[in-house]
Chains A and B, each alone.
Chain A
Amino acid sequence: MASQTQSSTVLLTRLLSQKEQSPLVLILDTIAQSSLYLQQEFIHHKQDSTSVTLVSFETVDKPQWADIFLEAQDKPLKRIIELVNESVDPQGKNLVIIDAINYIPNHKLTQFITSISRPNITVVATFHTSCPEEDRSQYSNYPSSYTLLTYIASSIFEVLPNSLDDEELERHVQEFKIPSGLNTQSFVLNLINRRKSGRSLSYKFQINTLTHEYSPIVDKPQEHVDSQELLKDLTTFNLTTSAKQQKARENVELPYLDAQSFETGGAIVYEFEKDDDYDEEDPYEDPF
């Protein structure tokens, strides 16, 4: 167990520092927990030589950490692809951050991703899962952007707020009455990393971007609770069963068990009882 948690943290750090090859990193966020805190971890861990390009659909001003700031709003997709390809360093390592990939139309997503992908580029794209996505598509069975991106991404980082279990909180978010305590520097991260072999690794972390601490969350297997323990002292009545009673209960043969032991299906088990009026000469009275 210890080695598993250790390796999960190592994998996360390697992914954040782009030491682990992952051509498309997809970050899934909502209005309850923004991906921008996690995005900062990629910037924090990147090597100095890595060039950072921000493809902006939402960001208004160039952030300090971005080497190249590309405004993609209002630009045709072809132009965005050209701009990205012109801006990246062909020799060195590149980190291309897309602040909201939701703005790329569904039917052009794969074209966009494949056009900017190179061996020396790591694309980190954020997809806002709370943004509605229309069902209508040119092709009736074409997958949604979410399905498509989660299928082609080599790593998926899903950020979740620490406290959104409560149904009421979730309802408030859906009604855009954002409760306090969300969008913080401390959040839960679900990581899925797909190996070249096809194996998929899945981990859960508690992330603190202020201290850069990542603690793996290991889901404990549910402990078996003895039903007798639960019933004890619940009421003034004795609801528990003694060992003797339990043994007797186990030995009780349930009715119709005989019917289940037949190897051929559809057989009728009929046992005559003393009050049955059976006439041997009447062919219609034959119960079989």
Chain B
Amino acid sequence: MSTLKQDLILFADTSIIPRGSKVCGTITHTQGTSPAWLVESLVENGLFGTCSINADGKASRSLRGDVVLISLVHDEGFYDLKRNSIALGETPQFHFVDLFTDLFGKVGDVEHLNKTFDQLASQIDQYTSEHKTVLIEGLEFLIGATQLTASHILNQLTKLQRVSQAIFVILAADKELVQLKVNDSSLIEFRMNELLTRLIHRSHLAISLRPLETGKAKDVTGTLTISRGALPFEGSTEVMEKEYLFLTSKDQQTKLFLR
């Protein structure tokens, strides 16, 4: 394995979140390949256009957009949003929406889900910056714990897509959650499979974080695959398809290696 550190790039114009075209991305992960570092990198890139794990991580920064991080599985304290002595979390353009605390009160049924997402969409719409990035994680929790269907959830995502320039949906895709044996819509596997399939049909970009297929390794946490989603871009924006190996060390530092 090469020891050369590689840069995280998602698009052909060497950007992580491109300007000039709307983006919808789906990030899938499994147990053992937490996407926390990727979420933190996307937050940083949405706010400043930089990425700490890249060579340009220490470049001069200026705020360039709002970032809204919505989580159904974590509170704000979970994320390490300090980047090179700048606390991203304290930046006024960063907005954390905690749907984890009082989860079922806010998004437990269709009525509350609609109300919460209508409020969120109108809140995001009021932000004045030209570029708004939305990251939402843990929607699989709604599939597992409530009677909400893929259509209910996707309709809410559409509301957020309308008021933002980039949206990344972060979901667990463990085999046990998505592998279908019987087409019974009451099963979690069925509804998760339905949600993920429909989401990828709406996405320009599909990012997968998976453990190594060959087993555990000391120097590799998992693989990061970047590929095109089913939705093509209307303009010249193009996904840079590639695969990395990544290593998240004990001190929460992540290194990427091109595969």
Contacts and interface: CB of A to CB of B under 8 A. Distances in A.
A130 B242 contact: no
Interface in A1-45: 29, 31, 34, 36-37
B45 interface: no
13 contacts: A36-B232, A60-B158, A73-B158, A131-B197, A132-B193, A135-B182, A135-B184, A175-B175, A176-B196, A176-B200, A177-B225, A178-B206, A178-B229
Nearest 7 Cβ contacts at the A-B interface = A180-B241, A34-B230, A134-B185, A177-B208, A178-B206, A183-B228, A178-B227
A275 interface: no
Contact of B234 (A37, A64, A182, A183): A64
Contacts of B229: 178, 183
Interface string B46-64: 0000000000000000000
Given A131-B198, A134-B185, A176-B208, A183 B230 contact: yes
A73 B159 CA distance: 11
B41 interface: no
A143 interface: no
Interface in A64-93: 64, 73-74
A103 B227 CA distance: 26
Contact of A128 (B151, B197, B228): B197
A136 B173 CA distance: 25
A37 B233 CA distance: 11
Contacts of A178: 200, 206, 208, 225, 227-229
A58 B201 contact: yes
Contacts of B202: 58, 60
B190 to A, nearest CB: 5
B155 A73 contact: yes
B241 A177 contact: no
Contacts of B241: 180-181
Given A131-B198, A131-B201, A132-B183, 10 more contacts: A34-B230, A58-B198, A60-B161, A63-B234, A64-B234, A73-B154, A131-B194, A180-B227, A180-B243, A181-B241
Interface string A107-134: 0000000000000000000001011111
A186 to B, nearest CB: 13
B162 interface: yes
Contacts of B234: 63-64
Contacts of A31: 197, 200-201, 230
